[in-house]
Amino acid sequence: MKLFVSDGNPHCVKVLAVLEFTGVKCDVKHVNHEERVVPYLSRPALPALLLPSGTHLFSPNSICQYLIELNGQESSDIVNQWLEWEATELQPAVMHALHMVVLQGKGAETPRVLQGPLSYLDQSLSQRTTLFLTAEMVSVADVVLWAALYPILSDSSLVSGNQTLQLWFERVGMLAACVSAAQTVLQGKGLKAESLKTYLQRQPTTHHGQGQVQGRGTQPCNSPEGDDDDCVLSEEEIQSAAVTWGKGLTDLPMVPERQHPILPQEGKRNVLVTSALPYVNNVPHLGNIIGCVLSADVFARYGRLRGWNVLYVCGTDEYGTATENKAREEGLTAQQICDKYHAVHASIYQWFQVDFDFFGRTTTKKQTEIAQNIFWRLHERGFLLEDIVEQLRCEACQRFLADRFVEGTCPFCSYPEARGDQCDKCGKLINAVELREPTCKVCSQTPVVQSSKHLFLDLPKLEAELEQWLERSTGSGDWTANAKQITRSWVRDGLKPRCITRDLKWGTPVPHPDFSDKVFYVWFDAPIGYLSITANYTDQWEKWWKNPQQVELYNFMAKDNVPFHSVVFPCSLLGAQDNYTLVNHLVATEYLNYEDTKFSKSRGVGVFGDMAKDTGIPSDVWRFYLLYLRPEGQDSAFSWVDMATKNNSELLNNLGNFINRAGMFVSKFFESCVPAMALQQEDKRLLAQVGWELKQYINLMDRVKIRDALKCILNISRHGNQYIQVNEPWKKIKGDETDRQRSGTVTGVSVNVACLLSVMLQPYMPTVSHTIRQQLNAPPSVTGTLLQGTGNFVCSLPAGHHIGTVSPLFQKLESEQIESLKKRFGGQQPKTTAQPDVNAQPATTPASDPAAQTAVNGADAERARELTLAVAEQAEKVRTLKGQKAEKTVIGAEVTKLLELKKQLSLAEGKDPEPVLTKGKKNAQPATTPASDPAAQTAVNGADAERARELTLAVAEQVTWGGNKCNELGIRGETMEV
């Protein structure tokens, strides 16, 4: 049994008190407020109790009741009644009051909120003759109510009167269990606990409607853009913001120029950042870019600004079947393919201003050295096993066939064109040796099954050590929730030995004499790329990679790559026993979709890295929009219309407008010289608001919440715009002396906010950030000072400072421009035009009739209905024929008809016809002739990749670990790519 609690969360006081009170044995684990312990709840719910059966209890009161029940006490009607009252009446009032006192500093108003429930409790107690709520003995109701009231009543100044209540509260509070629970959660400080404040800040604003039944319509409500949940500032916070401001720039050393090679330094925070190695044989799309290299870049840039000693390495992953395949297609050697695409990747990332310290590749001598060294160490320590694997081998081509090189009849549904890893028709995963009538896709000969000896990494032997390390790393580091969850499910299902060798040519050779014609399986090899790429950067690479004491390692990737980084690769390194640096913070994104569909090279849908620059939209704007959309916590979708909206509303009208106005006022009204500032309350208020957002920004960035931190920047410029709007410096400048002074103060404060923004923007939009600093002629030390510690919003452009020439930062994206881009990158599918915009979802008026719904999608409902019937008929016909064991060709013809009907139906319903189906039709030639058209070939492979992506996650959780499942290769191609 495991109890999850978080610091500062007052609900946790209850359960910890009851836990100690009952003496039930249970592990207590402290986690972050955001930790989603209960898998089925979309919002974090703490405390939570995980029972041995795997059931979660997430209601604090039910957890308490359960603990009491384990102790052999039944709860009575009266106990139930108090608990229900606590949950429905007292709790909402307490949370409301805490919010007011702690966050808004409005202690004086708490009695109004709490009076009702407190006097009810007081009266109930005075009517009783017993010492406690329900009896002479303490019951669970006493502890629960005490804990609920603890933060409020421990501060005697807040609520007075209610004498019986006070006595009861003190009596219960004397229980050792209560004292220690209050100590654990709130450090015994009650309301003044800093952790309580942090907790309350993270809570969604509670609706203080006191449980009124709201309108019962179920119209989906559009949550307003950006939760403008303004922080409420106390007087002290405002004053302290003014004090900070007055400090000005310190003489702190500037962020030093980078000197290569960067090596870990004693006494510094040494941060090693890696981004998943993109697979070399394809051009990355926007999803790939935001998923790893760009996210890691923002974090690395931020770290450098913070003065950490950061090294950011990445490179192309070049070995494997997919490369061999591509080489064959393009008529080049594998090495030529790698050279060609490595350059393509490098130039794309350069255009996106991804600032690697080193961008290397995996096909190097260092890779061979390090991979073979790790291999031998694992071998010497007995972590490798041998086993026989059955594989298909083509005698004509003289090689073992990877899954994507075999085709045959599906053993499950008899579809004649099933691939070596999966059937396109029934979707089942296939082990290539199970295919009936297999053929080699290259030469069309029939391959034979051959046994081949392979090496396996003995994961079960390393499991205990892995789990120990995982416990530590996930407990102390910033692992994203999906990373933890995927890892947990892999480990929970038990680890099996995993094949590390392949019968391929293009790979790192296995040095063992018994396996001389084999290479390392790419999942084993590719992550070693991080080490070898660093080794190609500096000979002293071991100072980074064999130095867990001094180095903190951040891995960035998309979620399909998690198991390789959290389970498999760490096992290789742990087994090698060479003091390797293991990942401390595993940061995984979800997926980015394209206009609510998937990026697909084969269908020409989506924007690929090399096309972005042809759009004429600046790299910084691309970065901004991708980061604004960063699939943090859930999938998100790229949309052209939305991109234009965000550019025009956020960049142009909000951020750009503010910075430009601030600068223009200085240059137009004050001859480019920052005016003197005499701060009034209103100005200090703005300083405090901005300072608060800055703190949030740092807080979020430190925990790699890159998208959320970007919102802080936009909030600041929103505050700034309001401030200018209200104070109207352009009017006041024409007024009397006082007015003119006021105009000067507002302008001076605004231009300083603009300067702060330039620094905060640097990780996101480096060029824009640089331009602003140039326009403002900002001193170089701003970058160092403003982001130190928890953030200092100081006056960095003092009165008298001369600024440079101010000009607009952003351009409007016109709707014609966007429409044409949308057409250009939308692909040829008719559905893209029928697809409603994200912003114009039909959901606002929920159509109750399915036909109406289809009509909204711009498709023909009547036709859909006809087709549905036709499909059903045809399907029945096929079933009958199969049942009668009819001629294969006859069935085949009918199946083709059925597929065609289904496709038409999909179109009529306004859905995307399954891509695989379309290809299936296009490819409806005798299975024995391989597709002769190279374009069609790519299309098929493209569709495979798409399919593999869909399945990766599903498979990742249940892949057979043994190497005899050849379908792993198909999956890997995707997993290292993203």
How far is residue 904's CA from residue 885's CA, in Å, rounded to a whole number? 28
Examine residue 39 and tell whether it contacts other proteins (CB under 8 A).
yes
**Cβ closest to other proteins, residue 56 vs residue 661:** 56
Examine residue 57 and tell whether it contacts other proteins (CB under 8 A).
yes
How far is residue 946's CA from residue 600's CA, in Å, rounded to a whole number? 7
- Interface positions, 480-509, toward other proteins (CB under 8 A): none
Q: Which of 127, 215, 267, 398 binds other proteins (CB under 8 A)?
A: 215
Examine residue 207 and tell whether it contacts other proteins (CB under 8 A).
yes
Of 141, 214, 217, nearest in space to 172 by CA: 141
**Cβ closest to other proteins, residue 467 vs residue 876:** 876
Using DSSP's 3-state secondary structure scheme, residue 389 falls into strand
Q: What is the nearest approach in angstroms of other proteins to the Cβ of residue 442?
A: 29
**Cβ closest to other proteins, residue 65 vs residue 309:** 65
Of 758, 706, 770, 762, nearest in space to 296 by CA: 706
Q: What is the nearest approach in angstroms of other proteins to the Cβ of residue 429?
A: 15
The C-alpha angle 755, 757, 758, rounded to 5 degrees, equals 65
Examine residue 848 and tell whether it contacts other proteins (CB under 8 A).
yes
Cβ–Cβ < 8 Å for 375, 511: yes
Instruction: Choose one: 407-415, 443-451, 512-520, 846-854; the region binding other proteins (CB under 8 A).
Output: 846-854
Examine residue 129 and tell whether it contacts other proteins (CB under 8 A).
no
Cβ–Cβ < 8 Å for 487, 470: yes
Of 503, 379, 497, nearest in space to 450 by CA: 503
Q: Which of 23, 51, 246, 445 binds other proteins (CB under 8 A)?
A: 51
Tell me the DSSP string of 515-559: GTT-EE-HHHHTTHHHHHHHHHH-TTTHHHHT-TTTEEEEEEEEG
Q: What is the nearest approach in angstroms of other proteins to the Cβ of residue 393?
A: 33
Instruction: Choose one: 99-107, 258-266, 866-874, 964-972; the region binding other proteins (CB under 8 A).
Output: 866-874
- Interface positions, 382-441, toward other proteins (CB under 8 A): 427
CB neighbour burial string for 230-256, b if at least 16 within 10 angstroms, e if fewer: ebebeeebbeebbebbeeebeeeeebe
> By rule CB under 8 A, what string of x and - marks binding of each residue 904-933 to other proteins?
-xx----x--x--x----------------
Phi-psi region of 965 (alpha: psi -120 to 50; beta: other; left: phi over 0): beta
**Cβ closest to other proteins, residue 158 vs residue 905:** 905
Q: Which of 17, 713, 795, 871 binds other proteins (CB under 8 A)?
A: 871
How many residues in the shown chain lie near other proteins by CB under 8 A? 61
Q: Which of 84, 230, 578, 635 binds other proteins (CB under 8 A)?
A: 84
Tell me the DSSP string of 666-693: HHHHSTTBPPP----HHHHHHHHHHHHH
Strand pairing partners for 419?
407
Examine residue 69 and tell whether it contacts other proteins (CB under 8 A).
yes
Q: What is the nearest approach in angstroms of other proteins to the Cβ of residue 875?
A: 6
**Cβ closest to other proteins, residue 78 vs residue 449:** 78
Examine residue 465 and tell whether it contacts other proteins (CB under 8 A).
no
Q: Which of 127, 253, 849, 926 binds other proteins (CB under 8 A)?
A: 849
* The token pair that represents 954 in the structure block: 């599903």
Q: Which amino acid is at 938?
A: T
Q: Which of 4, 21, 66, 349 binds other proteins (CB under 8 A)?
A: 66
Examine residue 59 and tell whether it contacts other proteins (CB under 8 A).
yes
Peptide bond between residue 780 and the one before it cis (omega within 30 degrees of 0): no
Q: Which of 25, 53, 136, 935 binds other proteins (CB under 8 A)?
A: 53
Q: Which amino acid is at 190?
A: G
Q: Which of 61, 422, 561, 952 binds other proteins (CB under 8 A)?
A: 61
* The token pair that represents 406 in the structure block: 């075999």
Q: What is the nearest approach in angstroms of other proteins to the Cβ of residue 282?
A: 25
Examine residue 205 and tell whether it contacts other proteins (CB under 8 A).
no
Examine residue 954 and tell whether it contacts other proteins (CB under 8 A).
no
- Looking only at the bridges linking them, the beta strands covering 436-440 and 498-499 are unpaired
Q: What is the nearest approach in angstroms of other proteins to the Cβ of residue 244?
A: 37
**Cβ closest to other proteins, residue 539 vs residue 873:** 873
**Cβ closest to other proteins, residue 39 vs residue 475:** 39
Q: Which of 174, 221, 464, 840 binds other proteins (CB under 8 A)?
A: 221
Q: Which of 104, 119, 163, 210 binds other proteins (CB under 8 A)?
A: 210
Instruction: Choose one: 150-158, 211-219, 566-574, 929-937; the region binding other proteins (CB under 8 A).
Output: 211-219
Q: Which of 25, 42, 160, 816 binds other proteins (CB under 8 A)?
A: 42
Distance from the Cα of residue 352 to its chain's centroid: 20
Q: Which of 399, 498, 902, 972 binds other proteins (CB under 8 A)?
A: 902
Examine residue 864 and tell whether it contacts other proteins (CB under 8 A).
no
Q: What is the nearest approach in angstroms of other proteins to the Cβ of residue 55?
A: 6
**Cβ closest to other proteins, residue 223 vs residue 889:** 223
Q: Which of 27, 55, 398, 883 binds other proteins (CB under 8 A)?
A: 55
Residue 58 Cα distances to 11, 36, 83, 148, 717, angstroms: 11, 11, 15, 16, 39
Q: What is the nearest approach in angstroms of other proteins to the Cβ of residue 950?
A: 9
Examine residue 219 and tell whether it contacts other proteins (CB under 8 A).
yes
Contacts of 248 (CB under 8 A, 6+ apart): 794, 795, 796, 798
Beta strands per DSSP E along 368-493: 384-394, 399-400, 406-409, 418-419, 436-440, 448-457
Q: What is the nearest approach in angstroms of other proteins to the Cβ of residue 43?
A: 7
Outline where 109-175 has alpha helix (H).
110-127, 140-153, 163-173
Using DSSP's 3-state secondary structure scheme, residue 802 falls into strand
Peptide bond between residue 10 and the one before it cis (omega within 30 degrees of 0): no
Q: Which of 637, 664, 838, 875 binds other proteins (CB under 8 A)?
A: 875
Q: Which of 4, 21, 58, 405 binds other proteins (CB under 8 A)?
A: 58
Cβ–Cβ < 8 Å for 859, 907: yes
Q: What is the nearest approach in angstroms of other proteins to the Cβ of residue 61?
A: 6
Q: Which amino acid is at 313?
A: V
**Cβ closest to other proteins, residue 213 vs residue 935:** 213
Cβ–Cβ < 8 Å for 452, 388: yes
How far is residue 672's CA from residue 665's CA, in Å, rounded to a whole number? 8
Residue 808 Cα distances to 722, 772, 775, 805, angstroms: 19, 10, 10, 10
Estimate the share of the chain in helix, then strand, then coil, as percent rounded to the nearest 5: 55, 10, 35
Cβ–Cβ < 8 Å for 33, 199: yes
Q: What is the nearest approach in angstroms of other proteins to the Cβ of residue 152?
A: 19
Q: Which of 211, 256, 735, 934 binds other proteins (CB under 8 A)?
A: 211
Q: What is the nearest approach in angstroms of other proteins to the Cβ of residue 86?
A: 10
For tokens 């502890």, what's the residue?
A: 143
Examine residue 85 and tell whether it contacts other proteins (CB under 8 A).
yes
**Cβ closest to other proteins, residue 217 vs residue 926:** 217
Q: What is the nearest approach in angstroms of other proteins to the Cβ of residue 352?
A: 34
Residue 802 Cα distances to 182, 776, 798, 909, angstroms: 55, 8, 9, 63
How far is residue 905's CA from residue 899's CA, in Å, rounded to a whole number? 10
Binding site for other proteins (CB under 8 A): 39-43, 51, 53, 55, 57-59, 61-63, 65-66, 69-70, 77-78, 80-81, 83-85, 87-88, 91, 207, 209-221, 223, 427, 846-850, 853, 868-869, 871-872, 875, 902, 905-906, 911, 914, 917
